[in-house]
């Protein structure tokens, strides 16, 4: 049943449809198969479209903050930060130092959340029957409990405000965060022992779904996926937003750009995030947690446009906002990393087998809330 066989065979068109145990949400792939090989792949998105950008034009600037939680629903803190960053740029608000440190702590904890979940689900797509997922979720629960203690909700945190954060971190919460960070390297060691050198995993993920470096740059791929292909681009180092230039951390970059590299890059990024967290929790200064001139009600942003972006765990998350000087945005656009990263799916999957399609999709690490908005 080879693609260049002597016998004339028919291709099989399969819809890995929206109801599927492992397409990470309601997402459809129309795949044309020749035997087990993928000849054509068309991603179909839009099953979770919720008119996020249109809703944002009707409500006040601050009222959009809870909606941004629901974009990439795994990582609500970083979504909030990107939006707050864009508005602060346009309004010229200066964020106090303690708030910047708090934002970094929350963002890096979100990175740990996201990567551990992403790897867990990638491994469960490989067929490891939920064992890695449940180990990852066990640690993730601690971070979610911390988010609940600080902001009131586990996932839809609604925590950042323009000019700072909503509530301050008290000493008990800081101790909780330190405890989480102290346990994380042990969890990573156990996880790596379980999976990284597993021959079955290596056979399934090495040389699968290769993304060449040139193609990654041309297709605007960002995040761990680009770094696994050899593109040295991390917005934390390039833009130096927040107080990231005060922390000493490295950015891992891969060579081959296959699924195994994407998996390893995420693990290495988790280790670097732990380093940043240790430094931030050690150095956090006292002070105000929100800018004194920040307002909640009747907050008007000066006319103009602005683009604020951060290194979200999945890639570059950007908000393009246009204001007419009023209390509501005129135009509100989200640059979602999952959506842009997903456009290259066909090129990565051609010539691979059906079973690999699901694994490659898992390594792109998408969240449908972001893809469809």
Within 162-181, which residues bind another protein (CB under 8 A)?
Answer: 166-167
Cβ atoms < 10 Å from Cβ of 237: 14
- Dist CA 343 CA 333 (whole Å): 18
Q: State the minimum distance, in angstroms, from the CB of residue 140 to another protein.
A: 10
Total chain residues near another protein (CB under 8 A):
78
Sole window of 106-114, 280-288, 339-347, 353-361 interacting with another protein (rule: CB under 8 A): 353-361
Q: Residue 258: which of 218, 191, 212, 219 has the closest Cα? A: 212
Member of 50, 54, 129, 324 binding another protein (CB under 8 A): 129
- Dist CA 227 CA 95 (whole Å): 30
Q: Is 346 helix (H, G, I), strand (E, B) or coil?
A: helix
Binding mask 260-299 vs another protein (x if CB under 8 A, - otherwise)?
Answer: xx--xx--x---------------------------xx--
Q: State the minimum distance, in angstroms, from the CB of residue 62 to another protein.
A: 7
26 binds another protein (CB under 8 A): no
- Dist CA 162 CA 126 (whole Å): 42
**Contact in structure between 176 and 106 (CB atoms under 8 Å):** no
Q: Residue 32: which of 347, 344, 350 has the closest Cα? A: 350
350 binds another protein (CB under 8 A): no
Q: Is 91 helix (H, G, I), strand (E, B) or coil?
A: helix
98 binds another protein (CB under 8 A): no
Binding mask 50-89 vs another protein (x if CB under 8 A, - otherwise)?
Answer: ---------xx-xxxxxx----------------------
CB nearer to another protein: give 237 or 300: 237
32 binds another protein (CB under 8 A): no
Cβ atoms < 10 Å from Cβ of 367: 24
Instruction: Give Cβ neighbours of residue 120 (< 8 Å, ≥ 6 apart).
Output: 132, 133, 134, 135, 136, 137
206 binds another protein (CB under 8 A): yes
Sole window of 106-114, 148-156, 216-224, 335-343 interacting with another protein (rule: CB under 8 A): 148-156
259 binds another protein (CB under 8 A): no
């Amino acid at each position: 049943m080879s693609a260049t066989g002597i016998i004339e065979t028919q291709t099989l068109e399969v819809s890995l449809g929206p109801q599927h145990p492992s397409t990470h949400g309601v997402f459809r792939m129309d795949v044309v198969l020749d035997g087990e090989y993928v000849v054509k792949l068309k991603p179909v998105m839009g099953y979770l479209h919720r008119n996020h950008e249109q809703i944002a034009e009707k409500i006040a600037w601050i009222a959009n903050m809870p909606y941004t939680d629901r974009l990439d629903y795994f990582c609500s803190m970083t979504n909030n930060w990107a939006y707050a960053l864009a508005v602060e740029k346009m309004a010229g608000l200066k964020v106090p130092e303690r708030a910047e440190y708090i934002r970094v702590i929350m963002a890096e904890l979100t990175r740990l959340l996201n990567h551990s979940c992403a790897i867990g689900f990638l491994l469960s797509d490989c067929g490891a029957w939920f064992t890695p997922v449940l180990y990852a979720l066990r640690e993730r629960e601690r971070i979610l409990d911390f988010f609940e203690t600080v902001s009131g909700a586990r996932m839809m945190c609604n925590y950042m405000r323009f000019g700072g954060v909503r509530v301050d971190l008290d000493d008990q919460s800081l101790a909780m965060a330190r405890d989480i960070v102290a346990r994380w390297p042990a969890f990573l060691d156990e996880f790596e022992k379980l999976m990284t050198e597993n021959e079955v995993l290596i056979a399934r993920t090495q040389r699968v779904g290769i993304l060449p470096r040139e193609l990654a740059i041309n297709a605007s791929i960002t995040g761990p996926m680009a770094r696994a292909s050899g593109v040295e681009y991390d917005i934390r180092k390039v833009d130096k937003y927040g107080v990231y230039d005060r922390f000493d951390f490295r950015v891992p970059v891969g060579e081959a750009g296959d699924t195994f590299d994407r998996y390893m890059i995420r693990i290495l990024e988790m280790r670097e995030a732990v380093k940043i967290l240790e430094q931030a929790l050690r150095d956090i200064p006292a002070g105000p947690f929100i800018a004194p001139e920040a307002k909640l009600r009747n907050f008007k942003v000066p006319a103009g446009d602005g683009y604020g972006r951060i290194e979200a765990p999945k890639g570059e998350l950007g908000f393009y906002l246009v204001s007419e000087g009023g209390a509501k945005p005129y135009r509100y656009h989200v640059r979602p990393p999952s959506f842009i990263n997903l456009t290259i799916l066909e090129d990565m999957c051609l010539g691979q087998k059906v079973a690999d399609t699901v694994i490659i999709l898992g390594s792109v690490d998408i969240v449908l809330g972001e893809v469809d908005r």
